[in-house]
């Protein structure tokens, strides 16, 4: 069978999407939810994903919401990265998110890539999740047990943790966190487009720095141990940075065609130092 030979259905409502997913699964087919489709098409061509059917979530109105409701920013999972970068008001409402997603892929790909697709993708960088991790955002999902709202830390641990027919509907972020002083730094092997050697998103809130990383390990993460070390007084910045890096098991630090483990560690140290300087933690 041709790798791209799958059935396409588009869902108009939350419950229809789950119904379609369940129907395909009961017929013994492999269904997948479909956001921008960039990864499904790219990995499909490489035979790394092979759905029998895809269910497009973009027509569902709840997944297209972009609004501030009682101080909370609600972003639908089907919003594309370009919609985020091109909304001037988001530059005030969630500048860290805007800066972070602006560095993902190139504009042509960002026109298609959705926030939920990035967060739930197989390609492990998932950089769009970083701002939501540091802001302790909430995730609204829909699945067989209907709608749920949970902390991002329960829904995402290295990768999205969803039930088979469950999908991301919206991400919800409080004002205090999303408007806090922030830094995003992405270092690549070369140029202005490409996967990160290190991508880090940080905010300063309640006099503490919160920080999440992509590109360091084969999954994005936020570590309370690292955050605790970074705010220790009585140590130089360099000592804090070195101790923070020691908290990452070295075998988990990527060693690949983008960068060797040693070089990635060196870049990470510089990124951490710069974040401490810029957020006033030095
Ligand atoms: C040219 C290019 C450059 C890239 N550069 C970067 C980069 O610099 N940094 C980075 O982090 N990533 C990068 N990526 C990876 C990209 O962000 C992911 O592949 C992402 O999955 C694509 O989003 P999509 O909306 O097209 O996903 P899709 O292909 O539609 O879906 C991807 C996966 O997410 C699932 N999914 C989609 N929507 C939902 C939902 N609402 N709920 C639950 N599951 C869902 C699908 O079932 C599928 O498993 C790049 C990709 C490309 C093609």
220 lines ligand 1 (CB under 6 A): no
Cβ-contact 82, 107 below 8 angstroms: yes
Atom 5 of ligand 1: nearest residue by CA position: 105
18 lines ligand 1 (CB under 6 A): no
116 lines ligand 1 (CB under 6 A): yes
Q: Which of 145, 142, 133, 130 is nearest to 170 (CA)?
A: 142
167 lines ligand 1 (CB under 6 A): yes
* CA separation for the pair 5, 26 (Å, rounded): 19
**Alpha-carbon distances, residue 254 vs 41, 223, 247, 259 (angstroms):** 26, 17, 15, 8
> How confident is the model at residue 3, as a pLDDT?
54
What residue ranges define each of the domains in the chain, with the CATH number in brackets? 1-179 (3.30.465.10), 181-278 (3.30.390.50)
Can you read off the two tokens belonging to residue 18?
Answer: 């789950």
Per the rule left: phi > 0, alpha: psi between -120 and 50, beta: everything else, 28 is left
> Tens digits of per-residue pLDDT, 246-272?
999 999 999 999 999 999 999 999 999
The residue with tokens 């749920």 is 148
Q: Which atom of ligand 1 is nearest to the CA of 103?
A: 8
Distance 110 CA to ligand 1 centre (A): 10
Q: Which atom of ligand 1 is nearest to the CA of 54?
A: 47
pLDDT band for position 1 (50/70/90)?
very low
Distance 39 CA to ligand 1 centre (A): 5
- Looking at the chain, the whole-number percentage of residues with pLDDT higher than 70 is 98
- Looking at the chain, the whole-number percentage of residues with pLDDT higher than 90 is 88
105 lines ligand 1 (CB under 6 A): yes
* CA separation for the pair 58, 12 (Å, rounded): 8
Q: Which atom of ligand 1 is nearest to the CA of 120?
A: 34
* CA separation for the pair 202, 181 (Å, rounded): 8
- Give the distance from CA 99 to its chain's centroid: 13
Mean per-residue pLDDT, 12-39: 96
The residue with tokens 């298609």 is 112
Q: Which atom of ligand 1 is nearest to the CA of 39?
A: 29
The DSSP secondary structure of the chain, one letter per residue, reads --TT--EEEE-SSHHHHHHHHHHHHHTT--EEEESS-HHHHHHHHTTS---SEEEE-TT-GGGG-EEEETTEEEEETT-BHHHHHT-TTHHHH-HHHHHHHHTSS-HHHHTT-BHHHHHH-SSTT-TTHHHHHHTT-EEEEEETTEEEEEEHHHHEESEE---TT-EEEEEEE-HHHHTS-EEEEEE-SSSSSS--SEEEEEEEETTEEEEEEEEEESEEEE-HHHHHHHT-TTS-HHHHHHHHHHTS-GGGS--SSS--HHHHHHHHHHHHHHHHHHTT--
Q: Which atom of ligand 1 is nearest to the CA of 128?
A: 11
> Tens digits of per-residue pLDDT, 209-219?
999 999 999 99
21 lines ligand 1 (CB under 6 A): no
Can you read off the two tokens belonging to residue 254?
Answer: 């990527």
Residue 145 has pLDDT above 80, yes or no: no
């Amino acid at each position: 069978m041709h790798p791209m030979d799958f059935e396409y259905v588009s869902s108009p409502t939350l419950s229809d999407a789950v119904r379609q997913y369940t129907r395909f699964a009961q017929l013994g087919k492999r269904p997948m939810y479909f956001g921008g489709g960039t990864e499904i098409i790219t990995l499909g061509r490489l035979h790394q994903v092979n759905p029998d059917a895809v269910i497009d979530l973009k027509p569902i109105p709840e997944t297209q919401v972009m609004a501030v409701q009682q101080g909370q920013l609600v972003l639908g999972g089907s919003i594309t990265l370009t919609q985020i970068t091109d909304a001037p008001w988001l530059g005030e409402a969630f500048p860290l998110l805007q800066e972070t997603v602006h560095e993902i892929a190139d504009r042509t790909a960002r026109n298609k890539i959705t926030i939920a697709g990035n967060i739930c993708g197989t390609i492990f960088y998932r950089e769009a999740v970083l701002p939501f991790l540091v802001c302790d955002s909430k995730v609204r999902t829909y699945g067989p047990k209907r709608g749920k709202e949970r902390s991002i830390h329960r829904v995402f641990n290295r990768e999205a943790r969803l039930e088979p027919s469950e999908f991301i509907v919206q991400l919800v972020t409080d004002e205090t966190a999303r408007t806090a002083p922030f830094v995003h730094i992405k270092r690549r092997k070369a140029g202005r487009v490409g996967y990160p050697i290190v991508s880090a998103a940080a905010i300063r809130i309640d006099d503490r720095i919160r920080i999440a990383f992509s590109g360091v390990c084969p999954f994005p993460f936020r570590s309370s141990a690292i955050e605790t070390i970074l705010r220790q007084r009585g140590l130089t910045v360099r000592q804090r940075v070195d101790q923070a890096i020691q908290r990452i098991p070295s075998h988990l630090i990527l060693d690949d065609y983008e960068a060797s483990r040693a070089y990635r560690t060196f870049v990470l140290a510089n990124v951490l130092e710069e974040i401490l300087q810029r957020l006033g933690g030095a």
